Amino acid sequence: MRRWLVTGGVGFIGYHLTRALLVRGDAVTVIDDFSDAPYPARMKEKNLADLVAEHPGFRLVRACITDAAATRHHYREKDGVIHLAGLAGVRPSFDYPARYSRVNVEGTATVVENALAEGIDQVLFASSSSVYGNSTPLPAHEDAPAIAPESPYAASKRGAELVASAICRRAPQLSCTALRFFTVYGPRQRPEMAITLWARALLARQKITLFGDGSMRRDFTHVDDIVRGVVAASAPKRPGFRAYNLGSGAPIDLLGLLRALGKAAGEEAILENAPVPAGDVDATFADIRRAKSELDWTPRVPLENGLREVVAWVRANP
């Protein structure tokens, strides 16, 4: 049994990860502030209720990760930290760039600082494929330059990586792992994300807004594969900073995604086009060779199976 502190542990990915750790017998303390954006607080409360019903022994702390003094004592007697809390979303980050920087960069620095103060030598945290922007050659490799973020969100995730890497230089005992998630989907996904949003529209026979001509490509990765990747990355303790791509390695264009989702839902999409919003990149495409070789991890959930699962979840949760 290992003792974990999981920040953001009742969000979308957080719920699935917390549950997986509890199922395997680990002790989990979750810190989450239940903020209402971008993941609705009501969904976090539902996730919490489902976790408590299945695993009543886990511990929840309602607090914000940026509050070092209020949260530090919760780091005591933990074997490691998995830091998932943060502000997600490319488009809203243009409206609140300072808030994104404070939560994602300062929040990550605070988590690592608290971990070191309490003698924890392993921190894993959620980064993003957004760090690569449009300038990185595809498929994106972890060692490729990530120097031209397309949004404040992307900049904040890259900033979190840089500050964590810098801290590691002064704390040689620390194992700090940045996990670059590629377009995660699955049950309990944020409702404004494309797959869940489009599934609801398809089932309700409503119009779907398609940005651009549908040629943008995304590397969609099922949440179960992401959770397996996080768990795999938690096993080794390599001192220093290391980044890993967690993606499917098989991007699909948005029109192809719509066709596949329509097939899963048994409905045909009614489309309306709109300009591509600021900050959206042309494509995401993960080079996953490092995760395969160092973590013995490969994605397992085919997109078609994952889409059917999302459609079933949407039907059951109108």
Determine the pLDDT at residue 22.
Answer: 98
49-70: average pLDDT: 95
The string of pLDDT tens digits covering residues 9-39 is 999 999 999 999 999 999 999 999 999 878 9
pLDDT at res. 36: 87
Using 50, 70 and 90 to split pLDDT, how confident is the model at 236?
Answer: confident
Active-site residue identified among 100, 132, 153, 244: 153
Could you tell me what percentage of the chain is helix, strand and coil, using 3-state DSSP and rounding each to the nearest 5?
45, 20, 40
Structure confidence by residue, pLDDT tens digits, 78-129: 999 999 999 999 999 999 999 999 999 999 999 999 999 999 999 999 999 9
Q: Output the pTM of the full model.
A: 0.97
Q: Quote the CA–CA distance of 212 and 292 in Å, as a whole number.
A: 34
What is 258-302 written as a DSSP string?
HHHHHHHHT---EEEEEPPPTT--SB--B--HHHHHHH-------
Cα–Cα distance measured from residue 299 to residue 247, given in angstroms and rounded to the nearest whole number: 7
Q: Give the per-residue pLDDT at 19.
A: 98
Superfamily of domain 3-185+220-247+286-300: NAD(P)-binding Rossmann-like Domain (3.40.50.720)
Look up 153 and say whether it is catalytic.
yes
pLDDT (average), residues 211-224: 96
In DSSP terms, 157 is beta-bridged to none
